[in-house]
Amino acid sequence: MEIILWIIVIALFALSIVGIFMPVLPDTLLLWGGFLLYHFFIADPGAGLPASFWWGMAVLSILLYGADLLTNMYFVKKYGGSKWSSMAAVVGIILGIFLFPPFGMLILPFLLVVLVEVLVQKQTLEKAVKAGFGSLIGFLGSAVVKVVLQVAMIIWFFIAL
Protein backbone atom coordinates (compact mmCIF):
# COMPACT_ATOMS: atom_id res chain seq x y z
CA MET A 1 0.00 0.00 0.00
CA GLU A 2 2.87 2.37 0.82
CA ILE A 3 4.29 1.98 -2.70
CA ILE A 4 0.95 3.05 -4.19
CA LEU A 5 0.87 6.09 -1.91
CA TRP A 6 4.42 7.05 -2.95
CA ILE A 7 3.44 6.71 -6.61
CA ILE A 8 0.53 9.06 -5.96
CA VAL A 9 2.83 11.55 -4.18
CA ILE A 10 5.26 11.53 -7.13
CA ALA A 11 2.34 11.86 -9.59
CA LEU A 12 1.02 14.87 -7.66
CA PHE A 13 4.46 16.49 -7.83
CA ALA A 14 4.70 15.83 -11.57
CA LEU A 15 1.19 17.20 -12.16
CA SER A 16 2.10 20.31 -10.20
CA ILE A 17 4.90 21.02 -12.68
CA VAL A 18 2.50 20.39 -15.59
CA GLY A 19 0.08 22.78 -13.88
CA ILE A 20 2.54 25.64 -14.42
CA PHE A 21 1.91 25.37 -18.15
CA MET A 22 -1.74 24.34 -17.90
CA PRO A 23 -3.47 26.80 -15.57
CA VAL A 24 -6.53 24.55 -15.22
CA LEU A 25 -4.41 22.34 -12.93
CA PRO A 26 -3.93 23.87 -9.47
CA ASP A 27 -0.15 23.49 -9.31
CA THR A 28 0.41 24.64 -5.72
CA LEU A 29 -2.51 22.60 -4.39
CA LEU A 30 -1.17 19.50 -6.11
CA LEU A 31 2.20 20.02 -4.41
CA TRP A 32 0.50 20.40 -1.04
CA GLY A 33 -1.56 17.29 -1.76
CA GLY A 34 1.68 15.32 -2.06
CA PHE A 35 3.09 16.82 1.13
CA LEU A 36 -0.09 16.13 3.10
CA LEU A 37 -0.48 12.61 1.70
CA TYR A 38 3.02 11.77 2.91
CA HIS A 39 2.56 13.47 6.28
CA PHE A 40 -0.73 11.83 7.17
CA PHE A 41 -0.63 8.47 5.40
CA ILE A 42 3.00 7.44 4.82
CA ALA A 43 5.09 8.95 7.65
CA ASP A 44 5.20 7.21 10.99
CA PRO A 45 2.73 8.75 13.46
CA GLY A 46 4.34 11.66 15.28
CA ALA A 47 7.35 11.62 12.95
CA GLY A 48 6.04 13.63 10.01
CA LEU A 49 7.57 16.68 8.46
CA PRO A 50 9.02 19.32 10.81
CA ALA A 51 7.32 22.65 11.49
CA SER A 52 10.13 24.50 9.69
CA PHE A 53 9.21 22.62 6.51
CA TRP A 54 5.56 23.67 6.75
CA TRP A 55 6.46 27.32 7.40
CA GLY A 56 8.88 27.29 4.49
CA MET A 57 6.29 25.75 2.19
CA ALA A 58 3.75 28.37 3.21
CA VAL A 59 6.16 31.19 2.31
CA LEU A 60 7.15 29.57 -1.00
CA SER A 61 3.47 28.94 -1.83
CA ILE A 62 2.72 32.62 -1.41
CA LEU A 63 5.63 33.38 -3.74
CA LEU A 64 4.22 30.90 -6.27
CA TYR A 65 0.87 32.66 -6.30
CA GLY A 66 2.55 36.04 -6.60
CA ALA A 67 4.88 34.94 -9.42
CA ASP A 68 2.15 35.03 -12.07
CA LEU A 69 0.74 38.36 -11.04
CA LEU A 70 4.02 40.15 -10.46
CA THR A 71 5.86 38.99 -13.58
CA ASN A 72 2.85 39.62 -15.81
CA MET A 73 2.28 43.09 -14.37
CA TYR A 74 5.96 43.96 -14.59
CA PHE A 75 6.48 42.89 -18.21
CA VAL A 76 3.19 44.21 -19.56
CA LYS A 77 3.93 47.58 -17.97
CA LYS A 78 7.57 47.49 -19.08
CA TYR A 79 6.51 46.88 -22.68
CA GLY A 80 3.81 49.58 -22.64
CA GLY A 81 0.68 47.48 -22.09
CA SER A 82 -2.43 48.41 -20.12
CA LYS A 83 -4.41 46.71 -17.35
CA TRP A 84 -6.83 45.54 -20.02
CA SER A 85 -3.92 43.85 -21.76
CA SER A 86 -3.08 41.92 -18.61
CA MET A 87 -6.65 40.65 -18.39
CA ALA A 88 -6.66 39.80 -22.09
CA ALA A 89 -3.47 37.79 -21.61
CA VAL A 90 -5.04 35.75 -18.79
CA VAL A 91 -8.15 35.08 -20.87
CA GLY A 92 -5.93 34.14 -23.81
CA ILE A 93 -3.97 31.64 -21.73
CA ILE A 94 -7.14 29.95 -20.48
CA LEU A 95 -8.83 29.85 -23.89
CA GLY A 96 -5.61 28.88 -25.64
CA ILE A 97 -5.27 25.76 -23.54
CA PHE A 98 -8.66 24.48 -24.65
CA LEU A 99 -8.87 25.82 -28.19
CA PHE A 100 -5.35 25.28 -29.53
CA PRO A 101 -3.28 23.13 -27.18
CA PRO A 102 -0.38 23.30 -26.49
CA PHE A 103 0.70 26.42 -28.41
CA GLY A 104 -2.58 28.29 -27.98
CA MET A 105 -1.55 29.37 -24.50
CA LEU A 106 1.34 31.29 -26.05
CA ILE A 107 -0.21 32.56 -29.29
CA LEU A 108 -3.73 33.50 -28.17
CA PRO A 109 -2.67 35.76 -25.26
CA PHE A 110 -0.31 37.60 -27.61
CA LEU A 111 -3.07 38.10 -30.19
CA LEU A 112 -5.63 39.22 -27.62
CA VAL A 113 -3.24 41.73 -26.08
CA VAL A 114 -2.50 43.19 -29.51
CA LEU A 115 -6.23 43.41 -30.29
CA VAL A 116 -7.04 45.06 -26.95
CA GLU A 117 -4.24 47.58 -27.37
CA VAL A 118 -5.28 48.48 -30.92
CA LEU A 119 -9.08 48.40 -30.55
CA VAL A 120 -9.67 49.41 -26.92
CA GLN A 121 -6.59 51.43 -26.02
CA LYS A 122 -6.23 52.99 -29.51
CA GLN A 123 -2.50 52.26 -29.65
CA THR A 124 -0.50 51.95 -32.85
CA LEU A 125 0.11 48.45 -34.15
CA GLU A 126 3.79 48.77 -33.26
CA LYS A 127 3.01 49.63 -29.60
CA ALA A 128 0.35 46.91 -29.46
CA VAL A 129 2.77 44.26 -30.74
CA LYS A 130 5.33 45.44 -28.19
CA ALA A 131 2.75 45.03 -25.39
CA GLY A 132 1.83 41.60 -26.75
CA PHE A 133 5.47 40.63 -26.66
CA GLY A 134 5.68 41.87 -23.06
CA SER A 135 2.75 39.67 -22.16
CA LEU A 136 4.47 36.68 -23.71
CA ILE A 137 7.73 37.42 -21.88
CA GLY A 138 5.74 37.81 -18.64
CA PHE A 139 4.09 34.42 -19.03
CA LEU A 140 7.38 32.70 -19.85
CA GLY A 141 9.20 34.50 -17.03
CA SER A 142 6.51 33.49 -14.60
CA ALA A 143 6.76 29.88 -15.73
CA VAL A 144 10.53 29.85 -15.16
CA VAL A 145 10.15 31.33 -11.67
CA LYS A 146 7.43 28.82 -10.80
CA VAL A 147 9.43 25.84 -12.06
CA VAL A 148 12.42 26.90 -9.96
CA LEU A 149 10.25 27.43 -6.86
CA GLN A 150 8.39 24.15 -7.25
CA VAL A 151 11.54 22.13 -7.86
CA ALA A 152 13.06 23.76 -4.75
CA MET A 153 9.95 22.81 -2.77
CA ILE A 154 10.10 19.20 -3.97
CA ILE A 155 13.82 18.94 -3.19
CA TRP A 156 13.22 20.44 0.26
CA PHE A 157 10.50 17.84 0.80
CA PHE A 158 12.89 14.98 0.09
CA ILE A 159 15.61 16.55 2.23
CA ALA A 160 13.12 16.95 5.11
CA LEU A 161 12.32 13.24 5.00
Q: How do residues 139-150 score in pLDDT, each as one tens digit?
A: 888 889 899 999
> Is pLDDT at 156 greater than 90 in this prediction?
yes
* Count of domains observed in the chain: 1
CA distance 125 to 76: 16
The pLDDT value given to residue 64? 86
Per-residue model confidence as pLDDT tens digits over 49-79: 999 999 999 999 998 887 766 777 778 778 8
The pLDDT value given to residue 58? 96
> Is pLDDT at 13 greater than 80 in this prediction?
yes
For 11, the domain range is 2-160
The pLDDT value given to residue 103? 78
> Is pLDDT at 106 greater than 90 in this prediction?
no
The pLDDT value given to residue 41? 94
The pLDDT value given to residue 147? 94
The pLDDT value given to residue 76? 77
* Cβ–Cβ < 8 Å for 86, 92: no
pLDDT band at 122 (very low <50, low <70, confident <90, very high): very high
The pLDDT value given to residue 80? 87
The pLDDT value given to residue 46? 80
* Residue 37 or residue 26, greater confidence: 37
